[in-house]
Amino acid sequence: MSGNPVLYDHPGPRARIRNLALTVVFGLLILAVLYWVYRKFDEKGQFAAILWEPFLKAATWNNFIIPGIEGTLKAAATAMVFALAFGLIFSVGRLSEHRWISVPAGIVVEFFRAVPLLLMIFFISYGVPFLIQKPVPPFWSVVIGLTLYNGSVLAEAFRAGVYSVPRGQSEAAYAVGMRKSLVMRHILVPQAARAMLPVIVSQLVVLLKDTALGYIVSYPELLQLGVNVLSANYGNVVAAAIVVAVIYIIVNFALTSLANYLDRRSQRRGIRPRAIDPGAAMGGGGAAAGA
């Protein structure tokens, strides 16, 4: 039931008038609220030129926002690679028939899924140095924290994906004499990865957003540089936060759109395994909302 029109009939004359009325009423309501917000911001002087002028200067972008975006993307890209590897390894580990592998892998995955990322990053930055007697640079605190959390979520997504591959696939593989590791590598994981592609990409959006938590360990990412440091220079914390929020929305929207495109493409080309249960897939993935 992908086409929404299934839920209602084509509107007749009365329905059309009713819909039009609803459109007008609701539209006006939204506009009224937006206008009120605008007026209030104006009243409090949030549109004062002095707050927004810095964004017209190239130096503001070159010194704070662009390095911030670079910091965010660098941490996100590194963490994405590690998280995918972590997810792959631990999903396979959890699917292992050897209990001494599957049980520890399960504990690791469950634990890191349950601990708030804020606590993780904070601990890696301030607690782990006591253990290893070496400082953990902010960059690695963020990347490791993101990897452990998102990797664990991805591990569950991969696992659900492997379960979604019709059993006949692995049975056929065993029948032609493949060993377990070969079945995993050549038959199950590639199909599972495709089935889970949308979940994976939306988890990567979560990861990108979560880099914003890097500011608690003063990692120079977009929120730290673009809001905290920038506003210490110009005293315009609200304006800076609005600009940074718009940048985040644009970047993440692009990634989400990619996820939707991949989703549609995999459905159209029929490469998605048939017996997929979206409940199990999303439940395992928990990809819906991140920290």
Angle among Cα 88, 102, 198 to the nearest 5 degrees reads 30
Min dist. Cβ of residue 115 to another protein (A): 4
Q: How many CA atoms lie within 13 A of 34 on its CB side?
A: 6
Query: CA–CA separation, 198 vs 287, rounded Å?
Result: 10
Please report how close the Cβ of residue 151 comes to another protein at its closest, in angstroms.
Answer: 12
Q: Residue 1 is encoded by which pair of tokens?
A: 């039931």
Minimum CB–partner distance for residue 98 and another protein (Å)? 22
Smallest gap from residue 231 Cβ to another protein (A):
5
Contact 164, 277 (CB under 8 A): yes
Q: Which of 89, 121, 106, 91 is nearest to 207 (CA)?
A: 121
Nearest approach, Cβ of residue 277 and another protein (Å): 8
Question: What are the tokens at 114?
Answer: 């349950």
Sign of the torsion formed by the C-alpha atoms of 252, 79, 287 and 163: positive
